[in-house]
Chains A and B, each alone.
Chain A
Amino acid sequence: AQKITQTQPGMFVQEKEAVTLDCTYDTSDPSYGLFWYKQPSSGEMIFLIYQGSYDQQNATEGRYSLNFQKARKSANLVISASQLGDSAMYFCAMREGLEGYQKVTFGIGTKLQVIP
């Protein structure tokens, strides 16, 4: 089974609208962390937001929020008030084994395009 699944290869959103990027994960480790990264066309990887498996509340960072549904094993990224600069690839990632050896798995990404 895929450890990280991003089912939306591409998404369009109107500027100033909110958009949700889907991510589901699969792990049997009780301790894990979930991350979202942004990769603009220039290629660098930019950290956006983190959610720990024991965190009770959904993470928020400015216009980014993570809709964490542990029972469903989903960690969707919500971007509010989209801007043209949000056009990029978005990757969901999971870090397992927080108490010992830590493997990281990335999804295949979602390409977001913001339309003026």
Chain B
Amino acid sequence: EAQVTQNPRYLITVTGKKLTVTCSQNMNHEYMSWYRQDPGLGLRQIYYSMNVEVTDKGDVPEGYKVSRKEKRNFPLILESPSPNQTSLYFCASSPISAGNTEAFFGQGTRLTVV
């Protein structure tokens, strides 16, 4: 089954404790992206990757890191989480194309930083 898998689904952590949210896709997609969703703000792109070892900042990259060592995986790293990073996070993947490339989304990770 084609899917994007995020782990964990729920996480409560303390300020400053490094964490990683994993994202894996099984569709051989080149493009992967992380978003955060906050009430009243919609989804905002954090980082995206066009392919292995190619990443770029989205609109809200501060406080986050990513890496793309393999095509299927695109982990999101919070080196020193703060309460303002409490949010719902989505990973998405899609093929690279000039045409219709709907994004396949993971189920989301609800992160609370206390």
Contacts and interface: CB of A to CB of B under 8 A. Distances in A.
B102 interface: yes
Quick one: which of A35, A50, A107, A108 has the most chain B CB within 10 A? A108
Interface size grouping (class) on chain A: 20 to 34
Contacts of B92: 45
B59 interface: yes
A4 B44 CA distance: 11
Contacts of A11: none
Contacts of A98: 97-98
B13 interface: no
Contacts of B31: 102
B86 interface: no
A12 interface: no
Interface of A: 4, 6, 31, 33, 35, 43-45, 47, 50, 52, 91, 93, 95, 98-99, 101-109
